[in-house]
Amino acid sequence: MKVSVKVPATTANIGPGFDCLGLALPIYNTITIEETVLPGTGVEINLMSEDEVVDEMIFDNIPRDENSIVYKAVEMLYNSIGQEPSELRINVQSQIPITRGLGSSASVVVGGLIAANKLLGSPADETALLSIATEVEGHPDNVAPAILGGFVLSSQEEDGSIICRKLDWPEEWDITVCIPDFELATNIARSVLPKDVPMEDAVFNAKHLAMLITAVSTKDEKLMKLALKDRLHQPYREKLVPGMKEIMEAFKHEDGVLGCVLSGAGPTMLVISYKYDLDKIKSIVRDIWEAQNIKVDIKTLKVEQEGAKILE
């Protein structure tokens, strides 16, 4: 028996929502798990990409044995019901760019868990799967929208429980995803963040997160344009993303652009707009990055409202 699961890409933080906001996007990884019949073969993990220009060295640096995050997630699920994983073949068909801040690791974790759960007869409910995925990833901001789809507010509470709520993202608001041709590993992007921040910065983000949630809930473009400011992570990561400061500055005074933010840990940038010339967005971003010899793939997308789903 084998099970395939299609999982959307995700973008986290959305400016001030550090480690608690995420959006699902219509770019997908497909994870297939099959129980093999040959005893003693252990785990086999195959990584494939539909992108002909993907850097094979990226795949070479990803573990394909018991050290892989997808296997660790699957093993945790098996152990939660008192079992050990049998011989498994895990195939990852990748469309989500790796180390670009688009939730590629979260998609693999979620897809592996849902596929393995189906193989086991579905002993774990959504809450249990979300808990395991969060334990593997470290925080729920990517895994929650990968499972639920849409725009999701999430929190890991002190007792380990995961709280999440799916909110309606305005259909009229476009998201232009600008993916540069260089990597930024999450551990590096986190290493530049301070352990403590000034009280005024914490208050600043609390205010703007409240503004963001209100703006999305009421479709308030004017408030959204003010809401997407951050002092907890983007100022520190700016030095890791060439062109980031220039791109954000370029959109500050464009009326139809609601904001420009780093996608997750970066280096992908998101431009959120309303009734604005999308070709102009692409031209501005491309000109800034190409001036620094950085190639960029730009897509304007709607929010993916469906989360991970089993393919029949």
Residues 10/102, Cβ–Cβ less than 8 Å: yes
2-168+303-311 belongs to CATH 3.40.50.2300:
no
The pLDDT of residue 41 is 58
Q: What angle do CA 104, 226, 289 make, to 5 degrees?
A: 50
CATH, domain range 173-301: 3.30.70.890
The pLDDT of residue 227 is 97
Residue located via tokens 């050990």: 84
SS3 at position 243: coil
Show the tokens assigned to 62.
Answer: 């990803």
Say if residue 180 is preceded by a cis peptide, omega within 30 of 0.
Answer: no
The pLDDT of residue 164 is 95
Residue 31 and residue 311: Cα distance in Å, rounded? 10
Residue 278 and residue 282: Cα distance in Å, rounded? 6
Domain boundaries, the chain: 2-168+303-311, 173-301
The pLDDT of residue 103 is 94
What does the pLDDT profile of the chain (312 residues) look like in tens digits? 899 999 999 999 999 999 999 999 999 999 999 987 665 556 778 887 765 444 443 444 455 556 788 889 999 999 999 988 878 889 999 899 988 999 999 999 999 999 999 999 999 999 999 999 999 999 999 999 999 999 999 999 998 899 999 999 999 999 999 999 998 988 999 999 999 999 999 999 999 999 999 999 999 999 999 999 999 999 999 999 999 999 999 999 888 999 999 999 999 999 999 999 999 999 999 999 999 999 999 999 999 999 999 997
Show the tokens assigned to 186.
Answer: 């999450």
The pLDDT of residue 45 is 83
The pLDDT of residue 40 is 58
Residue 107 and residue 284: Cα distance in Å, rounded? 30
Residue 100 and residue 12: Cα distance in Å, rounded? 12
SS3 at position 3: strand
Q: What is the pTM of this model?
A: 0.91
Residues 6+ apart with CB under 8 A from 25: 8, 9, 10, 11, 102, 175, 177, 301, 303, 304
